[in-house]
Amino acid sequence: MSISIQGPEPASPHIESHPLSLAPLTTFRSEFLAWCRANSAELAAHTLPHPDYETRVIAARSLQRVLFDAGWSRFGWPTWVGGLGGSALHRGIVFEELSQIGWHGPAIFEHLEIIAPTLLEFGDTDFVAERFPRFLDGTQSWVQGFSEPDAGSDLASLRTRGVIDDGCIVITGQKIWTSWAKWGHTCLALVRTGSTEERHRGLTMVAVDLESPGVDVRPIQQANGTYELAEVFFDEVRAPIDQIIGEINGGWAVAMHLLAHERGTLAWFRHNHFRQRLAQGAEASTPVEDAALGAAIVQLAGLRATAGRQLAVDAAGGSLGPTAAFTKLLMTRLEQQLYDVLLRIHGARMGFGAGNADDQLLHQEYLFSRVVTIYGGSEQMQLMTLANRVLKLGT
């Protein structure tokens, strides 16, 4: 079955889903594997490891375009935004099989699994239908503007202001630790439209074009040498009202929906890379590391089962809710455990990243693993969420 499709179909709720999106998932997987085999040379060129982040971003865009033109990146998304139908399970299969041929992950398009579901759930229909295909085909990418210098885990204390004025929302303030903002086109920013005392009840989510007058993106060099993070300053930046995502002063619900995907379904897409690294480590290990490798394998199996369940809930249209905090705990603890083991196995070449491209990537990934218990809500915040909202302790 060939599904090669050039360019997006017109965004319309009346377009029928592609037949392959309605077929059994085993059929979808086998068709995708057949396509991967038939296009192995082209895919290899787009899935090479790139320690240079600029090159990695270019490769991510080019692969996204290849997948889009062939139709595969459009599965799992509704037809009214240029998708071909299906669910998160279809996207999960594509990610899993790509990782099996050496793909290191989506880089700037990781936000497809975080931001895109939120746009579909809360965004203005015309605005989302117009922007979404350019997200899917790799032309444009989105970033997430949440944290501020004085509002990290206590996100409800943020101070970036949004004022409604003449059909626009005018934004002034600062965001920090904004992933991939150097290469982003649109920032999904949480801003304060109510009073400081209203905390989470006075927040609004808005899509801000990063090329708008008054936007200043300042990349931050991380300890691992990359510029994945950035500060973003807004000086009376105007965004049309139809770019508000959700309701005015209703941004907290939008943010929680987004964070549930960052903490929940994203784990499926992240764990595939962990599997790849674990297999590589096992090939190079000695019996001294067997116990540590075995423990990591058990943790990976637990994460895979938990993340798969979250993916299935999302595919069925269910709410991920506070249980996503448990998935993030498993994901980040495994990530640190895994890279600790890999450092013992690979030694100096990974510790200093002075070897080939993959050694440099391992070094970058190890240093990044040190901060994973902070981003998207700290480990302590996840534990509090589970205690209060899942286990109902202290109520």
| Catalytically annotated residues | 262
Rounded Cα distance between 272 and 105, Å, is 9
The kind and range of the H/E element at 339 are helix 324-346
Give yes or no for a contact between 90 and 25, defined as CB atoms under 8 angstroms apart: yes
Give yes or no for a contact between 148 and 174, defined as CB atoms under 8 angstroms apart: yes
CA 101 to chain centre: 20
Task: Say which amino acid occupies 370.
Answer: R
Task: Say which amino acid occupies 275.
Answer: R
Give yes or no for a contact between 60 and 46, defined as CB atoms under 8 angstroms apart: no
Rounded Cα distance between 135 and 170, Å, is 24
Rounded Cα distance between 214 and 171, Å, is 9
Beta bridge partners of 186: 142, 209
> Which of 363, 335, 341 is CA-nearest to residue 288?
341
CA 7 to chain centre: 24
- 3-state helix, strand and coil shares in percent for the chain, rounded to the nearest 5: 55, 15, 30
What b/e readout covers 206-224, taking b as 16+ CB neighbours within 10 angstroms? bbbbbeeeebebebeeeeb
> Which of 385, 270, 272 is CA-nearest to residue 320?
385
Q: Which residue has the tokens 């994203």?
A: 266
Rounded Cα distance between 38 and 31, Å, is 11
- Torsion region of 100: left, alpha or beta (phi above 0 gives left; psi -120 to 50 gives alpha): alpha
CA 127 to chain centre: 21
Rounded Cα distance between 365 and 43, Å, is 23
